[in-house]
Amino acid sequence: MNNFNKVLVVSPHPDDETLGAGGTLLKYKKQGHKIYWLNITDVNEEFGWDEKRIAHRQEQIEAIRGFFGFDGYYNLSLPTTKLATIDEGDIISKIRAVFDDVQPSWVLIPGQYDAHSDHRIVYNCCMAAAKSFRSPYIKRITTMEIVSETDFGFQNERFVPNLFVDITEEMDKKLEAMKIYDTEIEEVPFPRSLENIKAHSLMWGGYCNSRYAEAFCIVKQIE
């Protein structure tokens, strides 16, 4: 069994945790590790979302929590698409509080080159919060590939994976999880389609000799 006994996934918006690391979270849970979910932004009436949509979002979140069997769930409920206008020191403090509470050994975060500014800010804040002298319990930080955001924005920089996790046995279950986000998925050629998610996994499998894989970029690992 792997050494990362507490895995924390950080999603800028609900569904990023499933898109980026759904298979790996299921695999780690099955192997007996504990898994945690920290979500950063949320929707509410104040931002012009109607009641019904907000309620449905909450149902999705609850369903996902149950589906994965998360051992802990946190939601900062910050305003979607508006992170750039918030004091970064405050966001870092809130993330650090969750880090200190969970004491995760592996933290999974969005990438610094994603198209969405919320993703890039969450990357920066997590990196600041995860400095080794502040959070010595963190033994690995990786970015995830989140289809429809990763590699949709920057021109010279690209997601360069260096960690491949075999999710052959979890492939179908990851797709089932994605179906819970019925409002977020569509048919090919939409990137957040079940076919496309599966194609990505098969492609990454070709880099690591397994049928299906998820890919991550290790920013820091300590042994």
How far apart CA 171 and CA 183 sit, in angstroms, is: 21
User: Given the rule CB under 8 A, which of 6-14, 63-71, 151-159, 175-183 is the region that contacts a second copy?
Assistant: 151-159
Among 98, 165, 178, 185, indicate the residue that binds a second copy (CB under 8 A): 165
Alpha carbon distance 214, 165 (integer Å): 5
SS3 164: strand
Name the burial class of residue 121, with classes exposed (0-12), middle (13-18) and buried (19+) by CB atoms within 10 angstroms of its CB: buried
The tokens describing 45, both together, are 């009436």
Note whether 18 binds a second copy by CB under 8 A: no
The total of other beta-carbon atoms located within 10 Å of residue 178's CB is: 20
Query: Residue 9 and residue 36: Cα distance in Å, rounded?
Result: 6
> Nearer Cβ to a second copy, position 52 or 209?
209
Distance CA 50, CA 44 (A): 8
Name which of 51 and 187 has its Cβ closer to a second copy.
187
Binding-site member from 32, 46, 52, 133 for a second copy (CB under 8 A): 133
Instruction: Tell me how far apart the alpha carbons of residues 23 and 37 are, in angstroms, rounded to a whole number.
Output: 14
- Interactions with a second copy, residue window 84-103 (CB under 8 A): 84-89, 92
End-to-end CA distance of the chain: 15
CA distance 107 to 126: 9
Per CB under 8 A, the list member of 112, 144, 146, 170 interacting with a second copy is 112
Give the shortest CB-41-to-a second copy separation in angstroms.
11
Give the contact letters, 189-208, x = binds to a second copy (CB under 8 A), - = no.
xxx-x-xx-xxx-xx-xxxx
Stretch that binds a second copy, among 14-22, 52-60, 61-69, 160-168 (CB under 8 A): 160-168
Stretch that binds a second copy, among 6-14, 15-23, 128-136, 170-178 (CB under 8 A): 128-136
What is the rounded CA–CA span in Å between residue 144 and residue 11?
A: 10
Residue 30 lies near a second copy (rule: CB under 8 A):
no
Q: List residues near a second copy by CB under 8 A.
A: 2-3, 80-82, 84-89, 92, 112, 115-117, 124, 127-128, 131-133, 136, 143, 147-148, 151-158, 160, 162-166, 188-191, 193, 195-196, 198-200, 202-203, 205-211, 217-223
